[in-house]
Amino acid sequence: MHPFLHEALAAAEAHFREDPRCVGMYLHGSIGRGDTDAYSDIDVCAVIEDAHYQAVKEEMRDLCGKLFGPIVAWLPEGERPNYCNFAFLFEHGDELLLTDFDLVSRSLFVERNQPPDRITWDPTGILHEVAAKARPRPTVGPERVLRLIDTFWVYAYLDGKYWCRQDLFKLLYVQETLFRTHVRVLNILHHETEGFWWAGEMAKLPAKHRRRMRAYFSAATFGAVARSLAKSLDLFAEDARLLCLQKNTAYPAEREAAVRRHLQAMGLPNVAQ
């Protein structure tokens, strides 16, 4: 993990320790599991008293800009009245870094009953209490397994007509659905859970399955993916600019430029403007 991310995380924790509206903080993702590498980002969550959740939420962008650095892109994800993940890119010198900062109300945190990966601050003990009471994941029953099998074969059937129609994009849609369903089956087979995010769950499967599952993808080499990425960046930028023109709004060219610079710095070919 980038050294500055550790500094920024410490600053965020120090801030919320002094904020009586916050009842605790924890880490998740690779930093929560303790298996970060040089490319890992921060995944952190602050638990906020219900009565103050909205006020804290409204402060987050300015706060993160002060604690982390100038915000390049700000992306609220999974937004609900009492939860939001703020994924944001920020500048640190000439570098572009990423953080995922969750905000959750106390009541929802208790209701979800999901144990935090790594608690960093818990003055009231509520985070440890939830961790101690968290229920184990239920065993996946035969009805669900059969539902997944039916899903696979029904969608596999659709490939027939889309092939005859030469409908490439529906073929790709079916392929994606088949792949995700297959991953769920493998997760149940090896871990007795369907998992949450297939790209993360794949790393937990045996190496032979990681190799086999590449058959679902036509671009199954690093070089092919890199070539595809370089082309897709150009196509997306072209279409996004046209849409912004249509909507009479400015295209955020600085965001594109910042991301391209970062990708180029990471060694990806043909991504510069």
Strands 22-27 and 71-80: unpaired
Whether 213 contacts 190, CB under 8 Å: no
**Whole-model pTM?**
0.84
What are 122-172's pLDDT values in tens digits? 998 999 998 888 667 678 889 999 999 999 999 999 988 899 899 988 888
Report the side by side order of strands in the sheet with 22-27. 71-80, 83-92, 95-105, 42-48, 22-27, 118-121
What are 13-72's pLDDT values in tens digits? 999 999 999 999 999 999 998 999 999 999 999 999 999 999 999 999 999 999 999 999
User: Is 103 in a helix, a strand, or coil?
Assistant: strand
Q: How do the domains of the chain map onto residue ranges? A: 3-133, 142-216, 222-265
CATH number of 3-133: 3.30.460.10
